[in-house]
Structure 1
Amino acid sequence: MSGMDHGRGNSSASASATAEAGSTDFNDADVTFAQMMNPHHEQALEMAELADGRASGTEVKIEKAQDPEIKTMTGWLESWNKPTAMESMPGMDHGSGDGMMSEADMEHLEGMKGAEFDKMFAEMMIEHHNGAISMAQDEQKNGKNADAVKMAGDIVEGQSAEVKQLQGIVDRL
């Protein structure tokens, strides 16, 4: 799926400038959003790397464009004097609704090729995106930091569109 940006939207503006903008106006929901979305984005990048050499066509290959969001959220956490990761990631397990894949899921996907890979990748990425959408919607409802709430909106919009594209792939396979 060339052109997929995983909800990056226009949030690729200078990470440092964004990290400083409104950095003093935040709450616990903003911190949780940034701390949980970073590993979520990192796993999406790991999944995208698996598509190289395994996907049957370019339709499943995705653009790896979540790095700017990771850098921005890390910058927010640093400017808020908050840890860039949670001590333990409560609920960050496969099947918990956050869309994170287990290590076994990732290994299973890594062992596949062609159409079989395409279908499993699309199904896993749909679950992964739906988890990100849920976290972003929570941020939209409960967050205080305007930049974080805006990024959450970009994630909801971008990843909802990608879920539709991915579902089209699953339906064809």
Structure 2
Amino acid sequence: MTAFTHVPRRPLHRRLALVGAVAAGGLLLAGCGGSDDMKGMDHAGTKESAASEATTGSAAGTFNDADVRFAQMMIPHHEQALAMAALADDRASDARITSLAGRIEKAQGPEIATLRSWLKGWGKPEKASSGGMGGMDGMEHGSGSKGDMGGMMSKKDMGKLEAAQGPTFDRVFANMMIDHHQGAIAMAKDEKKNGRDAKAKKLADDVVKNQSTEVATLRTLLDRL
């Protein structure tokens, strides 16, 4: 058995005096610390408060089902656009097609990362768990049924694009990307109308504006190819 050493307790009046002295010393140190220390403490507290408010705001429902659906559907839609654009590097013959494909890659790659970060922050999966979204393999291009990713290319479509070269590729790419963009524009308009998250609605607005401009460009190119 371990032996314990008895430590005699100070008389009550001495203990009370010691506590008072420590408290007074603490107040004196706080007064001498200067405003810089207090500012640092306030700044840290503000950061923690802001982070807490952001988390609370997100949990309180700054997004809705339309926002989630938009992100979940736009990710694979953008991924296919990137796959189509990548084919232009060694198949396109018109520099304007190659240039537009490069702009698509530059814009939609970062947007995919943004959409994924939103879903993670919302606590939602990247892929929808229920039907209605369909799969990339089963989507026929130009499909615009409610809940589907309009404009998605089928495997047959992608095979046709991969097999094309030169001017043929340019024409096939332009036609397919017009359909693909129109599908994205339709989804973005739905998000603008029914979504709740301000950032998601802003991205949807960018999609509508930028891809509408690219559709007009592709149509002009088709007349000249």
TM-score band w.r.t. shorter chain: 0.7 to 0.9
TM-score w.r.t. length of structure 2: 0.65
Structure number with the higher helix fraction is 2
Residues 30-56 of structure 1 show CA distances to partners (whole Å, capped at 9, x for unaligned) of: 000000000000000000111111001
Give distance in 2, aligned partners of 1:23 and 1:150: 17
Query: Who is 2:114 aligned against?
Result: 72
Amino acid across the alignment from 2:187: M
Give distance in 1, aligned partners of 2:67 and 2:58: 11
Report whether the alignment pairs 1:167 with 2:219. Answer: yes
Which stretches of structure 1, 4 residues or longer, exceed 2 Å deviation after superposition?
Answer: 20-24, 87-92
Query: Who is 1:96 aligned against?
Result: 143
Choose 122-131 or 50-59, whichever is displaced more: 50-59
RMSD: 1.7
Percent identical among aligned pairs is 56
Contact 1:38/1:70 (<8 A) preserved: yes
Query: Who is 2:202 aligned against?
Result: 150
TM-score w.r.t. length of structure 1: 0.84
Amino acid across the alignment from 1:77: L
Give distance in 1, aligned partners of 2:79 and 2:211: 15
Give distance in 2, aligned partners of 1:43 and 1:126: 13
In structure 1, the gaps of 5 or more residues are 1-19
Query: Who is 1:112 aligned against?
Result: 164
Give distance in 1, aligned partners of 2:65 and 2:190: 12
Query: Who is 2:192 aligned against?
Result: 140
Give distance in 1, aligned partners of 2:58 and 2:93: 44
Contact 1:129/1:159 (<8 A) preserved: yes
Contact 1:133/1:159 (<8 A) preserved: yes
Look up the SS of the partner of 2:92 in the other structure.
Answer: coil
Give distance in 1, aligned partners of 2:211 and 2:191: 15
Amino acid across the alignment from 1:161: T
Shift of 1:23: 4.4
Could you say which structure has the greater relative contact order, defined with CA pairs below 8 angstroms and 6 or more residues apart? 1
Shift of 1:90: 2.9
Give distance in 2, aligned partners of 1:58 and 1:171: 15
Residues 62-92 of structure 1 show CA distances to partners (whole Å, capped at 9, x for unaligned) of: 1212111101110110111111112353386
Amino acid across the alignment from 2:185: I
Give distance in 1, aligned partners of 2:58 and 2:77: 22
Residues 98-144 of structure 1 show CA distances to partners (whole Å, capped at 9, x for unaligned) of: 00000110011100111110001000000000000000000000000
Larger Rg, first or second structure (1 or 2): 2
In structure 2, the gaps of 5 or more residues are 1-53, 145-149
Amino acid across the alignment from 1:107: G
